[in-house]
Chain A
């Protein structure tokens, strides 16, 4: 090797070493993280698009075809300016579903065992010539500089060095899900080197050769054909649009572009910046090309046109520009090879190697992560090695641009499928596979055949062959591809998996959960992963997914298991590709009802992507959902299999269980006492259960429960359960009853004073007489009279105390003798002024027994007898009768008083309705009577005529023993 060659070799190695240092510094955070993650760094990393084709080949293309060389960058500009509708949806898919390559993306959407395999194979075939030409460019650049044929060790050394870099910084982490910040920083660095080198060369050409802008203008004025040769091809050739289309597709479909744009994207905001900044970078880069061309032509450089940059740089006396330009060429080549090999290795691993291994039935590996990592590394080396072999075997006369365009036509075959996945629900695997196979076949026959075989294409006589060759090749390959894609998609139907994937892909649809197979529990999921990938992977992946979703290993709720399965699928997709991930997790298919109701979850997640009618419907859905949430009554809806689908906020308050704790659980899985309460409600024939006592949170609550079936779309009916908490209402009623009772006592106060006063006066008189009485018999009689009066006072006080005692919150039902109850009430009413002179005729049989609350029923009769006394004339009569029915007792309270006007009769049991003068009655007595009677399971009615009196008729259930007595 000559000294000059040795120097170039050394410079190349030194540059690649610098690249290692940059990548390492970024990984170790010696370079600040905000620089590494800056949108401009991301933008510059996309400069991997500009290979030696740009650095060297564009000048050659400009010499032959004028401004046609700009098509390769204008086309990319178009695809990036369309980022919001083209690139950002793809980025969302890649991030959401952890798709690590183009093959993953197609395998996700066009679900077929063949998809990933074919995409990988076609990419390998289409891109390998492109890799070969990079190696060729590096070797040729050394040859141009040293004027001697470089030995094969130069190419081999270059390939080994870039392989080392790609392995160390592109396959660094155990899983491909991790981002490689060192790689991104290194590629960005290389883009800066390329830009600086080209602009430095152009600057030298402008100022060193032409003497500045004025000199360039003078040269162009003197040589108008120089500009005409640049412009004429655009006017005369029809290739501009074709080449722009090819570049449009290549801008994001080339594996290296896909890898840097999507797989290594750290922040989606970076793409928004790159959508204009990357075209700006390309614009700057290409400013240099015409200047380099004209300077080279002016100097009549003795180097191939493609290498005018090197030839010009050699004119710079210090030699630094030469080295910089050479390094620029190495940058362009190495960046392309590194990233392309990473991308192709990922595809080969996920879609060629792993499917064979998993489906071979081989025992799962104990250390799968490490094996995958080393597998990727081996494949990177293999891809570069194959590229090297292709370089050796290739026709050396093939130009850089020609090889590059061959690859561009190959990747453009994927364009119909990408557009279809974003906008056409009907696109399916049949159309995709048919179109792709046809397109690639035509591509091979027209473009690859002459390169590999060395003979003209078998299709060279097809129409349009006399036109531009790229138009010819693109028209036939892409045209047939598109035709079969459309036909195949129309003739076949997307399967269920494709439909789910389609809804995730399309721009105007929300992201919904895919058809995640149902799992019985976390253990079942672990088993599925373990069977395919080994115990270590199963444990690690489950731990990761459970942590991300904040679930635990005992999770059994169907809804949460669905989310867990989906999360595992996505995470495994990032590890082994979507196709294998789905196969590993395959199980029973999910029920439609669960998937349908889980759509709401995804609608909440995706609502900012809804547009038009979908957005309006979603707003309506959220409004109705909010109404349900805010209802003051507990709402719980059950799905087809009794699983809880809705659990509103009021229900959560009543039950003390949040929605997250119960959603998805079946009724039998709910914590007590709800399991029993709802089971009882579901089992009963009646749609209502009233006043159910429930012990909750240490206290007794009273609940009304209701159920209703909801039929929908012909499917099995679902149920909605409503829960009313009556506890506060019950407490209020108890307080009202107590207050009414105290109020009654208040009205009795003057009567009580009178009734107690009489016996006290009697006692006082008798005691007075006893002082002077000597006769023992008279004394005895006097003492007996005192005792009698004392008992009379005691009875009155005892009645008052019993009546005033508040009812216990629980319904203390006891057997009560109806006759005694009425007698007690009559005694109390007689204490009042209006009741004192009324004759209460108690005709209730003494054998009648009812179950009831003594105090509350006494209140009932006190109110009824009190009202009857108030309505009766002085010395009037109130008659109380009772008779026994089969299971109930009918009691009537009749007076011959003023009666109730007809217009009030229908409302007499409503609150605040009274026939009494203001201040004499509150109108709450009869409503209270009504409520108490209803609580005892009875009923009350009234018959009244003005001037003739009123009859209140009560029906109360007999005590069970009393009823039994009837039957026996």
Chain B
């Protein structure tokens, strides 16, 4: 019995992991700990967006 998830659901799962891992506690502390550059949080946020965009482009290709 085949039970593979469709690509859309794979993407959604990966996207959720990205956001949770990079932008929600405790991952958040990586970017906003004392002494960190202010733009690191933006970098993490941007990485989530860029990562999911790459996944969606790859699936379309």
Contact = CB atoms under 8 A, between A and B. Distances in A.
Interface of A: 67, 70, 74, 77-78, 81-86, 88, 220, 227-228, 230-232, 234-235, 240-241, 244, 272, 275-277, 279-280, 283, 286-287, 290, 611-613, 615-616
A283 B41 contact: no
Contacts of A70: 41, 45
26 contacts: A67-B32, A74-B45, A77-B45, A77-B48, A77-B49, A78-B16, A78-B23, A81-B19, A81-B48, A81-B49, A82-B15, A83-B12, A84-B12, A85-B12, A227-B38, A230-B38, A231-B34, A235-B32, A240-B28, A241-B25, A276-B50, A276-B53, A280-B53, A283-B42, A287-B42, A611-B6
Contact of A283 (B11, B34, B45): B45
A894 to B, nearest CB: 69
B2 to A, nearest CB: 6
Contacts of A220: 38
Interface residues of B, number: 35
B33 A235 contact: yes
A283 B3 CA distance: 36
Contacts of A86: 12
Nearest to A286: B42
A222 to B, nearest CB: 14
Interface in B1-46: 1-3, 5-6, 8-9, 11-12, 15-16, 18-19, 23-25, 28-29, 32-34, 36-38, 41-42, 45-46
A interface, by DSSP: helix, strand, loop or mixed?
Answer: helix
A275 B19 CA distance: 14
Nearest to B29: A235
Nearest to B8: A84
A857 B51 CA distance: 87
Interface of B: 1-3, 5-6, 8-9, 11-12, 15-16, 18-19, 23-25, 28-29, 32-34, 36-38, 41-42, 45-46, 48-50, 52-53, 56, 60
A279 B11 CA distance: 16
A878 to B, nearest CB: 71
Given A67-B41, A82-B12, A241-B24, A616 B2 contact: yes
A174 to B, nearest CB: 36
Closest 9 CB pairs of A and B: A84-B8, A81-B15, A276-B53, A231-B32, A85-B12, A612-B3, A84-B12, A234-B32, A279-B49
A283 B49 CA distance: 9
Nearest to B32: A231
A607 to B, nearest CB: 12
A240 B36 CA distance: 18
A613 B6 contact: no
Given A67-B32, A88-B8, A81 B24 contact: no
B48 to A, nearest CB: 7
B56 A283 contact: no
A391 B2 CA distance: 58
Nearest to A611: B6
Given A70-B41, A283-B46, A275 B56 contact: yes
Contacts of B23: 74, 77-78, 244
A290 B32 CA distance: 14
Given A613-B1, A616-B1, 7 more contacts: A77-B19, A81-B19, A85-B8, A231-B32, A276-B50, A279-B48, A611-B3
Nearest to B41: A67
A612 B41 contact: no
Nearest to A609: B6
B16 A82 contact: yes
A67 B19 CA distance: 16
A279 B3 CA distance: 31
B3 A613 contact: yes
A355 to B, nearest CB: 37
Nearest to A291: B38
B20 to A, nearest CB: 8
Contact of B34 (A82, A84, A228): A228
A225 to B, nearest CB: 11
A77 B60 CA distance: 20
Contacts of B42: 283, 286-287
Contacts of B56: 272, 275-276
A612 B49 contact: no
A272 B3 CA distance: 24
